Structure 1
Amino acid sequence: MRRAGHAEWTKLRTDAGNVWLVLGVMVLTVAVGAGVAVTSRCDAAGCGGDPVRLCLTGVTAGQVAVAVVAVLTVGNEYGTGMMRTTLTAVPRRLTVLLAKAAVLTAVTLPAAAASVLGSLLVGRFVEPDRGFTPQHGYRALSLTDGPTLRAAAGSVLYLALVGLLSLGLAVAVRDSATAIGIVLALLFVFPVLARVVADPDWQRHLQQVAPMTAGLAVQATVGTDRLPIGPWQGLGVLALWAVAALAAGGRLLRSRDA
C-alpha cells in the first residue's frame, strides 16, 4: 500500500494539469462565494438570509473542478493504456483503488480547507457592509460559532466526498468524458427534478436522496428545522453515494481486464 500510494502521489503531482485544477478548486470556490456575498443584502432584521451559506456558495462551483481531478486520476491512465502498467506493478487491484482514493483525499482536503477558509474570510469582511450586522440579528462570521464551524468542516468533507464519488464512477466506466457526465448529472439533475415535480412529498424525497442537495445541507446555519434533511444526515447521504461508487468501481476493477 505504501509503494502504491507513493506511485499515485508521483503520478498526480507530476501532471501539471492536476496542479492547475487544484488551484482552480480554490479560485472558483472563493471567487463565486465572494461574488454572492457582495451581491447579497439584508436590509432589515429578520431578512432570513444565511450569511454563512451565502459565502460558501462557491463550493457548488469548486466541486466541478474536484470531480474533474478525480476522474482524470483514473481516466488518463485508461486513455493512455498506463493502467496496464499500474496493475502489473501492483497486482492487487483494490490496493490500487485505495491508494488512488487516499492520495486524492490527501490533496482535496487541504485545497478544500483553504477554499472554505478563504470564502469565510471574504464573507467576514464583506457581509457586514451588506446588512448582515448585529443590528439585524447577525454576528460576525467566526469559527468559534458552532454552526459556522460545522458548515465549514462539512463543506471541506463535502468536497472530499465528491472527489471519492467521482473516482469510484471513473473506475467503473473507465472513460473520462462519460464519468464526468455521470457525476455532473448526479449532482445537478436531482435538484432540477425536485423543482419540476409538483408533489411536495416527492420533492422532499428527491432532496433527501440527491447527493448535492443532501450534502450541502451541512452548510445551513439558519432555519435548519425547515431543511428536508438534517445537516450531518445529509452529508451522510453523500458519503453513502461515495461508498457505493467506490464499491462498484472496486468490484468492476477486480472482475475486468485492464
Structure 2
Amino acid sequence: MFELDGRTALVTGAGQGVGTGIAVALARQGAVVAVNDIVAERAAETVASITEAGGTAYALPFDVTDRTAVASEVRAFERRVAPFDILVNNAGNGGAEGFRPTKFRDTEPADWQRFADVNLFGVMNTTRAVLDGMCARRHGRIITIASGAGITGASFGISLYGAAKGGAIAFTRHLAMENARDGITANTLALGLMDPAASGRTASVTTEMAKGIPVGRLGRPEDIGATCVFLASREAEWITGQTWQLNGGAPTS
C-alpha cells in the first residue's frame, strides 16, 4: 500500500526541516522528487541524502514568491525529467526576513506583504505552475502545509502568519472543489508545534509549550512525511478539500 512508483513530486522548501522529511518519505515510497529550496545548497543536501538511500531526486532551487521563476523552472523540469503528479506546498514561515512574533498593532504594512507573499501567494504560484498539466492528465495530488495558526487564534503575535496560512487553507479548499472532476485532490495539513531542531534551530519557547501537548512531544518531520505519503497515494483518492490537524492532540478538532 501507499506505493508511489512512477510518480513525480515537487516539494517546496524541502532543504531543511519538515520539507526534508516530506521529500525523504515520498522518495522512500518510490516517487521521483524535485527538491525545491530558496537556498540551492540546502536543496542539494536533501538530494544527496535521498540518493544515498537509494532514491531518485533532483535539486530545483527557486523562490516560490517569484511567479516567473516558478513557472520557468517547473516547465524546464517537466521537459527534462517528467511532469509532476504530486505537489507539496511546504515553503513558508516569515519570508526572507524570518519570523519574529509581533502583535498586529506593532507591525508595518511591509510585514503584511511578506507574510502573504510566501505563505499564500507562494502556494498559488506553484499550484498554478503544475495544475494545467495535472488536469490534462486527469491525475494530481496537491498538499498544502499550513498551520494551526490559520485555524485557531493566539495572543502572542502571529496574526500575520495566521492570516496568510488561513488564506492558504481556504484557497486549497476551493481548489479541491474546482478540480475534483479532473482527478485532482487538494488537502491541507495544519501543523501544530514542530521541533525547531529539525530545522537546525536551537530550542525555543516551543519546548516549554510542548509540555501541554497531550502526546508529550513536539512534531517531527517524519510525522508530516508519513501523512503526505498517504494523501499522495492511490488509496487517498476519495479524500479532498479537507484540513487535517497534525498537532499531537492540541487542540482536538
TM-score strictly above 0.5: no
- Ranked by relative contact order (alpha carbons within 8 Å, sequence separation 6 or more), the top structure is 1
Higher helix proportion, which one? Answer: 1
TM-score interval for Structure 1 and Structure 2 normalised by the shorter chain: 0.3 to 0.5
TM-score, length basis structure 2: 0.34
TM-score, length basis structure 1: 0.33
Larger Rg: 1
